[in-house]
Amino acid sequence: MKQNVLTPYLFLLPGCVILGAFIFYPLLQAIWLSFTDYNMITDPAFTGTENYQRLFEDGMFWKTLIQTLIYLVGVVPALIILPIFLAILVNQKLKGIGFFRSAYYIPVVTSWVVVGITWEWVYAEKGVLNYLLEVVGLINGSVHWLTSEKTALFAVMAVTVWKGLGYYMVIYLAGLQSIPSNLYEAAEIDGANKWQQTIRITIPMLMPSIIIVTVMSSIAAMKVFEEIYIMTGGGPLNSSKTLVFYIYQEAFEKLNMGYASAAGVVLFLITLIFSIVNLKLMGKKENVA
């Protein structure tokens, strides 16, 4: 009897050890370092809340936080909505549909280095994008997509959406395939067209998947780093610098590890609060549906 009680905990033990070693211990360590002056060379010196006071007085911190929120607002809605329609398209029973599913997923498994370099070529002054826009008459002269304060952040956001479409499409595709087909048959008998079926059946039935995608894409947007580092380096004039990139610079370029840890703790709290609120709101919508 005692052995049966311990069995579930033995199965949980490896996961708990891994989470403790690679998630919870580093988190606690970062919280401790946020109250110290630490440069990775000398021993940490306790300074109390000095790092947090300095952080909230730092204009660059607020600028990167605002730009991160702009990134969040721009990227997340697109990654919630667009993959739904993409999943509906590839959920059709057509010959060779597996090829299209794979094709849409290729950007997801492609390295950010490859993606970043490719899109730098697309966004170049004499690149493909400017050429196509000039041909159709939408622009007169080249647009400096990655080197202009007005467009750099939004250009990277577009690449993030493009790369993430296939990933969230797969989540929605799994949700679509779990919806009973008799619901669509009944709606069709009642005279509902495809758009009405999508709004009245598909979207409500996909609400659990929408919740997952919303939380995952929000967290990913809050900790965006690779695309900024590769494509713009935070420029021009810090116009595309996000909070995680700012933390990286403070920690590994300036060696202000204690200060960077304080910024990291603030980012963690913002992400945690946002995720909890998001889950609550989406959960209420699911109950109403």
What is the pLDDT at residue 283?
66
> Roughly how many angstroms between the first and final C-alpha of the chain, as a whole number?
44
On the question of a cis peptide bond just before residue 236, with omega within 30 degrees of 0, the verdict is yes
Q: Where are the domains of the chain?
A: 60-288
pLDDT of residue 40: 87
> Is residue 289's pLDDT more than 60?
no
Pairing verdict, β 45-46 and 36-37: antiparallel
Query: What does the pLDDT average to over 46-52?
Result: 95
Q: In which band, very low, low, confident or very high, does the pLDDT at 287 lie, cut at 50, 70 and 90?
A: low
Report pLDDT for 276: 87
Mean pLDDT of 63-82: 95
Question: Mind listing the pLDDT tens digit for each residue in 238-257?
Answer: 999 999 999 999 999 999 99
- Residue 94 is encoded by which pair of tokens? 């057509």
pLDDT-derived band at 280, boundaries 50, 70, 90: confident
Q: What is the pLDDT of residue 128?
A: 92
For the ranges 2-11, 81-90, 101-110, 143-152, which has the lowest average pLDDT? 2-11
Place of tokens 């998630």: 23
pLDDT at 100 over 70: yes
What pLDDT shows up at residue 176?
A: 92
Furthest C-alpha separation in the chain:
79
- pLDDT given for residue 206 in this prediction: 92
Residue 160: half-sphere exposure toward Cβ, Cα within 13 Å: 30
36 vs 289 pLDDT, higher one: 36
Would you place residue 101 in the very low, low, confident or very high pLDDT band (cuts 50, 70, 90)? Answer: confident
Within 10 Å of residue 73's Cβ, how many Cβ atoms?
11
Instruction: Considering only residues 101 and 59, tell me which one the structure prediction assigns the higher pLDDT.
Output: 59
Is CATH 1.10.3720.10 the right assignment for the domain spanning 60-288?
A: yes
pTM over 0.85, yes/no: yes
Rounded mean pLDDT, 162-187: 92
- pLDDT tier for residue 277 given thresholds of 50, 70 and 90: confident
Residue 132 has pLDDT above 60, yes or no: yes
Phi, psi for 126 (deg, rounded to 5): -110, 30
Spatial separation of the C-alpha atoms in residues 49 and 36, rounded to whole Å? 8
Predicted confidence (pLDDT) at residue 288 exceeds the cutoff of 60:
no
pLDDT for 167 equals 95
- pLDDT exceeds 90 at position 150: yes
